[in-house]
Structure 1
């Protein structure tokens, strides 16, 4: 029918007029581009990344297939370390603690950062830069310094209990990091205090790139501060929120130094997280293969969570 139609109309389809070009191979297509000098600038960073990130990750995955104490010759174990990991009753509780830290290290700091960024973008007072620097200070402090400082604050004779006694709430005093019921929330509060400054700075940078015309249009429509925030500021900060969530969730899942320097996973196992088991297996119980298996699984969880967050944000942008 097509040939008959073309014969009657005297026209042919565009596909028939333009001969198909032979498709170039991937290597030829890349070589024909004019951007190849840029790859030379990226080459040193790529080499560094392969040697010091992908290389150790591959070596860790290989070690996870052995029973090895870190000193003597390892014995092939295959997937036994992973089977033991999934049958270890301590892992579910450690993952549950990590979920608590995700809330405290990621979602709460993002919420606080949005509130602070919204307030600071509207308030014009002298010394605002100084207050921004003070609020960001926890992020630049060494984690060990933060942990030691909060251990002193949470001490039975520390400032927190002293303040409670001063206001007549002496019955609430306790060793906050030594109590099974309060150790995990206490460490979570420290994480929120550390991470909210990073979120605030990211959001402030994002607010500064929002055109002022959008705010003026919202105000002409009668929008108040709250409606203006949800209608203008929040949608414009979607990219910054994605970056903040990726950074904070990754830190929450791989968190070790803050937990270890405050509670060492205790009391009991009330604050243990997978990274604590990695350290204990590699340097205390000498089960290096099992520790490597936990490391591989934790890396996979971080990549999956990061991918889901980025996918959700990208889907909303599209």
Structure 2
């Protein structure tokens, strides 16, 4: 019988093998590789904690409330998905969703089209004092929406500047109470959104266009390309990322608008300007239907998430 050879052990003072170096660090502590694997999570943990406490937890609580019939105080009754089933046949909720989709046109589509065109004109014309123009254009974004709503409510009033201007140019037949007419109330509120969001969109477009090399435009002009050809062949493809960001921001603003509607029309006349965010407030604080209000809030959250995921996916695919 042969005796197995004894395993060799490293001599005292000899350097550890590569495997041992990876397995442990000095003094038996975890290696730098092991410590670095946890480092990213340690850095983002405070932010995740704040996000979870002030965003995720309230959202989960709202989802919980949506499964109950509750007046905001006292006992509650578990009803499961009944609040969501009731929303499917609720005419007021359907009107609110329809109005929100119309506001997307005013908040997102129109500002995007106008902002793109104006930004391209400013970029091509090399307007002096661009910093001043950017500040003025962005000004509606920094004014409190309550102040904006009060100012535009005065403009739209029956004796306001808009009707006075129409009368001055001989268009008395067009004068009306713009916010009190069911035919014009939603469009009037939407135009305020257009005025607010146009500056943001134009600023994003100008930022994207400033990164386009001037040599591309010079080469296009040498080939005989005109302004429209330059816009569709060079400018538009170069700002697809900015277009995606602008659409995401403006669509979110359109779907979650509340203070503008509350201060101008309070959802009226009738249901002409009611929106999901206002429905949440109205059901929770006026009707004392906290469960139904929470269901509206959850549906609105899912709608915003779905639309913006779709916009982002389309933008990434086009890029």
- Provide the TM-score with structure 2 as the length reference: 0.87
Displacement after TM superposition at 1:271 (Å)? 0.7
Residue 34 of structure 1, CA deviation: 4.5
Match of residue 207 from structure 1 = 209
User: What is the distance in 1 between the residues matched to 2:205 and 2:37?
Assistant: 33
Residue 184 of structure 1 deviates from its aligned partner by 0.8
Matching of residues 120-131 of structure 1 within 5 Å: 120-131=122-133
The correspondence for 1:266, drawn from 265, 268, 271, is 268
Q: Which has the larger radius of gyration?
A: 2
State the distance in 1 between where 2:291 and 2:73 align: 12
Q: Within 5 A, what are the aligned runs for 1:183-202?
A: 183-202=185-204
Match of 2:227 in 1: 225
Q: Does residue 302 of the first structure (1) align with residue 299 of the second (2)?
A: no
Q: How does 1:12-161 map to 2 (within 5 A)?
A: 34=36, 36-161=38-163
Match of 2:256 among 254, 257, 260: 254
Quote the residue 1:22 is aligned against.
none
Over residues 167-195 of structure 1, what are the superposed CA-to-partner deviations in whole Å (9 max), with x where a residue is unaligned?
Answer: 11112111100011111111111110000
Distance of aligned partners of 1:159 and 1:35 in 2 relative to their CA distance in 1, 3 Å threshold: farther
Range with bigger deviation, 209-218 or 148-157: 209-218
Question: Aligned equivalents of 2:301 and 2:40: distance in 1?
Answer: 30
Q: Shift in Å at residue 129 of structure 1?
A: 2.3
1:312 aligned residue (311, 314, 319): 314
Residue 315 of structure 1 aligns to a residue in which SS?
Answer: helix
Q: CA deviation at 1:291?
A: 0.1
Structure 1 counterpart of 2:172: 170
Deviation of 1:282 after TM superposition, in Å, equals: 0.9
- Which runs of no fewer than 5 residues in structure 2 stay unpaired? 1-32
Counterpart-to-counterpart distance in 2, 1:313 and 1:32: 38
Cα distance between partner residues in 2 of 1:238 and 1:149: 34
How much does 1:127 deviate? 2.9
Q: Over the residues paired in the alignment, what is the CA RMSD in angstroms?
A: 1.4
- Which 5+ residue runs of structure 1 have no aligned equivalent? 1-30
Using the alignment, how far apart are the partners of 1:91 and 1:67 within structure 2? 17
Label 1:125 to 1:240 Cα distance change in 2 as closer, same or farther (>3 A).
closer
Return the offset for 1:33. 8.9
Structure 2: distance between partners of 1:212 and 1:316: 23
Whole-angstrom CA distance in 1 between matches of 2:97 and 2:62: 21
